[in-house]
């Protein structure tokens, strides 16, 4: 089947405007609400009415397509299949909606083979429309519902920074200059809640405390609008654990078409599914070191318990630690720790003239290789650290935060065509390894 994605897009935009009018017409002061998981996980009669409207319009236009909506979702039954599927959130940001806080939207996505293909996100309160079609780019339009020539804004290609050209968008220097979106979600107890709180603190904390010294944390109250802001370049990153496919499907397409990236929200999860429920979104300026952000500044604790919720028991949305399993033996401080970069001539960390990783386009593979070795080695180091596991993790956070800063600078040099980026990063990492080994040696021998 050959799908006319442009026609689907046009239908979704029309439906979004109609639904937007319904949302604006709602009497917020007299609206009836109910709860799902708990008191902060609410649903209104307007959510339900909008979904009924959207479902009827889309089923009439595309009767052979599947439909997944938030308000008709049944745990363990409703799935996003390989078939063309509309994935819909009638009001993303319901808490904002009931407080008349103008940051809520309708999110309409088409997913084909479980991959976002069309995205339409419309905020009727601000009359801002985000759209994306696979292979055709993504756009934002202000005063979108007004007639052309009567105040309707022009379509602007995303990302806004760079004038719609991803290669001209400014690169994210480090977290101290970034805006990162976070959301507390509806699960307010248990290990995942505690993990989120620790992660948010680590993102905000100073580098002296092992944190990322993030420029700013933002909670807009809508996953779809968070992702669109990353696509536009208004936010740099968005880390989320616990939302659903309907929260991200439309925004995901818009983000991809703007040159951004959506990966898993746990360390090392570069490929993630539409319904994985744990995500990290990055705009084009942040995408080249997106995975490093989780490790260095939002590094989850190892062995966190998996997410559980009364309204969902069929998906694991747990946020967990590193998958590296290089642990020490039972021999205590006598354990020999192999160097993570034993071969100076073949290691991709410091490529010689003949190394295939010298090409700038290979730097993502190069970063992954560094990180896998670094994390595995530290997992072993923690088990023999002289002052115990807590001290080891403070040292690990300090060294790792500095590593990210060095690698970001290295990638900037590499993308500028300079091989010095590889060599400077390599020299830095070896220096850090030497410092760690000295600490271990002094701890074993009692030398100072």
Q: How far apart are CA 164 and CA 425, in angstroms?
A: 31
Cα–Cα separations (whole angstroms), residue 325 to 303, 311, 330, 342, 376: 12, 33, 15, 19, 7
CA atoms within 13 A on the CB side of 207: 11
Number of domains in the chain: 3
Same domain, 67 and 92: yes
Q: How far apart are CA 43 and CA 56, in angstroms?
A: 20
Same domain, 285 and 184: yes
Does the residue 322 lie in any domain? Answer: no
For position 8, what pLDDT does the model report? 98
The CATH code of the domain that includes 69 is 3.30.540.10
For position 383, what pLDDT does the model report? 73
For position 143, what pLDDT does the model report? 97
The percentage of the chain sitting over the pLDDT mark of 70, rounded to a whole number, equals 67
Same domain, 381 and 290: no
For position 50, what pLDDT does the model report? 96
For position 219, what pLDDT does the model report? 94
Per the model's pLDDT, the better-predicted residue between 47 and 404 turns out to be: 47
For position 431, what pLDDT does the model report? 63
Same domain, 41 and 137: yes
User: pTM surpassing 0.75?
Assistant: no
Cα–Cα separations (whole angstroms), residue 246 to 140, 218, 251: 20, 21, 9
Name the most confidently modeled range: 151-155, 165-169, 278-282. 151-155
CB–CB of 273/82 below 8 Å?
A: no
* 157 pLDDT more than 80: yes
For position 382, what pLDDT does the model report? 74
Same domain, 351 and 430: yes
| Residue-wise pLDDT tens digits, 118-156 | 999 999 999 999 999 999 999 999 999 999 999 999 999
Helices (H), 278-388: 290-297, 363-382
Does the residue 306 lie in any domain? Answer: no
* 348 pLDDT more than 80: no
Per the model's pLDDT, the better-predicted residue between 279 and 363 turns out to be: 279
For position 333, what pLDDT does the model report? 35
Q: How far apart are CA 386 and CA 380, in angstroms?
A: 13
Listed in sequence order, the residues at least 6 apart from 45 whose beta carbon sits closer than 8 Å to its beta carbon are 31, 32, 33
Same domain, 279 and 355: no
Split at pLDDT 50, 70, 90, the class of 221 is very high
Average the pLDDT over each of 291-295, 345-349, 394-398 and give the range with the smallest value: 345-349
Largest CA distance in the chain: 79
Q: How far apart are CA 370 and CA 159, in angstroms?
A: 30
Q: How far apart are CA 235 and CA 20, in angstroms?
A: 24
* 301 pLDDT more than 90: no
* 213 pLDDT more than 80: yes
The b/e string for 66-81 (b: 16+ C-beta within 10 A; e otherwise) is bbbbbbeeeeeebebe
| Domain that includes residue 408, residue range | 332-445
Listed in sequence order, the residues at least 6 apart from 269 whose beta carbon sits closer than 8 Å to its beta carbon are 263, 278
């Amino acid at each position: 089947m050959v799908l006319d994605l442009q026609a689907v897009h046009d239908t979704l935009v029309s439906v979004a405007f109609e639904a937007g009018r319904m949302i604006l017409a709602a009497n917020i002061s007299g609206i009836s609400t109910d709860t799902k998981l708990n008191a902060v996980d609410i649903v209104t009669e307007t959510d339900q009415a909008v979904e009924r409207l959207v479902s009827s319009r889309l089923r009439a236009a595309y009767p052979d397509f599947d439909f997944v909506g938030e308000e008709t979702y049944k745990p363990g039954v409703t799935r996003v299949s390989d078939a063309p599927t509309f994935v819909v959130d009638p009001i993303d940001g319901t808490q904002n909606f009931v407080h008349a806080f103008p940051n809520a939207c309708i999110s309409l996505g088409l997913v084909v083979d479980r991959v976002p293909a069309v995205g339409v996100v419309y905020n009727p309160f601000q009359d801002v429309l985000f759209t994306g079609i696979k292979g055709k780019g993504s756009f934002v339009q202000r005063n979108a519902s007004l007639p052309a020539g009567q105040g309707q804004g022009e379509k602007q290609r995303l990302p806004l920074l760079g004038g719609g050209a991803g290669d001209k968008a400014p690169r994210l220097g480090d977290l101290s200059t970034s805006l990162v979106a976070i959301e507390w979600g509806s699960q307010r107890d248990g290990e995942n809640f505690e993990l989120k709180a620790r992660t948010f603190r680590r993102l905000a904390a100073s580098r002296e405390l092992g944190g990322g010294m993030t420029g700013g944390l933002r909670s807009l109250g809508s996953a779809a609008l968070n992702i669109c802001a990353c696509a536009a370049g208004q936010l740099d990153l968005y880390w989320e654990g616990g939302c659903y496919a309907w929260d991200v499907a439309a925004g995901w397409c818009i983000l991809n078409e703007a040159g951004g990236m959506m990966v898993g929200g746990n360390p090392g999860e570069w490929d993630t599914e539409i319904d994985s429920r744990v995500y990290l979104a990055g705009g084009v300026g942040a995408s080249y070191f997106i995975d490093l952000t989780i490790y260095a500044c939002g590094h989850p604790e190892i062995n966190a318990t998996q997410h559980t919720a009364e309204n969902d028991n069929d998906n694991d949305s747990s946020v967990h630690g590193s998958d590296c399993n290089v642990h020490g033996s039972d021999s205590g401080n006598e354990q020999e720790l192999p160097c993570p970069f034993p071969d100076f001539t073949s290691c991709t960390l410091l490529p010689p003239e003949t190394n295939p990783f010298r090409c700038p386009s290979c730097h993502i593979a190069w970063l992954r290789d560094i990180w896998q070795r670094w994390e595995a080695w530290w997992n072993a180091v923690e088990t023999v650290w002289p002052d115990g596991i807590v001290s080891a993790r403070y040292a690990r956070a300090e060294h790792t935060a500095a590593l990210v800063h060095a690698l970001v600078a290295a990638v900037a040099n590499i993308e500028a065509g300079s091989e010095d980026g590889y060599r400077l990063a390599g020299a830095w990492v070896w220096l850090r390894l030497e410092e760690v080994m000295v600490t271990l040696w002094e701890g074993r021998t009692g030398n100072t």
